[in-house]
Structure 1
Amino acid sequence: MARITYIEHNGTKHVVDVPTGLTVMEGARDNGIPGIEADCGGACACSTCHVYVDAAWIDRLPPKEEMEEDMLDFAYEPDPVLSRLTCQLRVSDELDGLVVTMPEKQL
């Protein structure tokens, strides 16, 4: 299990424990966290689970695969370094303490 902090665009923080094996997107969905829409249900077919990962975590995450890079082109104001799709981040004990911030809106 990993404790993940989701920060809404307005600064509201949600700290939740997400079971190992789920994705960061599923953790937000299952806990009713606003700002992550996940329209495709986690198939990496949209960009509505886009977040900005705290800079301290960038090098601790698996690299983006080509499909995720392609979908981020459709995200609202993607950052070339900090933007990730939460459906592509599988929760493990190593993600304990992860902090992500939602963009102003999802496209």
Structure 2
Amino acid sequence: MTKLTIIAFDGTRFELDAADGSTVMENAVRNSVPGIDAECGGACACATCHVYVDDAWTETVGGPHPMEEDMLDFAFDLRPTSRLSCQIKMTPALDGLVVSVPERQG
């Protein structure tokens, strides 16, 4: 299992064990993290699973692909570290990943 920390907008930390190959969004939904709506179920067809990748992890996680970039246009309070959590697959290289949930989704 890979460690994943999701910080809700109110500062609540969700310390999760994430299966390799699962997405950040799947883990957030499974653990009832507030603010991750995931209306499209992970199809990269909305921006309701928007998160901010912690600065220490942005290079390892990498940037969004073109389809994700298009969807991020609909995200609230877009930042350079913005990603859709449905597009971040957990791997051993992401052990310890930290992401934060924005104040609201788009």
TM-score, with structure 1 as normaliser: 0.95
Structure 2 residues without counterparts, runs of 5 or longer: none
The aligned runs of 1:23-62 (5 Å cut-off) are 23-62=23-62
Residue 63 (structure 1) shift: 2.8
What is the alpha-carbon distance in structure 1 between the residues aligned to residue 68 and residue 95 of structure 2? 22
Does 2:90 align with 1:88?
no
TM-score, with structure 2 as normaliser: 0.96
Structure 1 residues without counterparts, runs of 5 or longer: none
What is the alpha-carbon distance in structure 1 between the residues aligned to residue 98 and residue 59 of structure 2? 13
Counterpart residue number, 1:67: 67
Does 2:15 align with 1:15?
yes
Does 2:93 align with 1:99?
no
Paired amino acid for 2:93: E
SS in 2 for 1:106: coil
Counterpart residue number, 2:76: 76
Residue 10 (structure 1) shift: 1.1
What is the alpha-carbon distance in structure 2 between the residues aligned to residue 66 and residue 27 of structure 1? 24
User: What stretches of structure 1 move > 4 A for 4+ residues in a row?
Assistant: none
Q: Once the two structures are aligned, what percentage of the paired residues are identical?
A: 53
Residue 41 (structure 1) shift: 0.2
What is the alpha-carbon distance in structure 1 between the residues aligned to residue 56 and residue 47 of structure 2? 23
What is the alpha-carbon distance in structure 2 between the residues aligned to residue 72 and residue 3 of structure 1? 25
Paired amino acid for 1:96: D
C-alpha RMSD of matched pairs (Å): 0.8
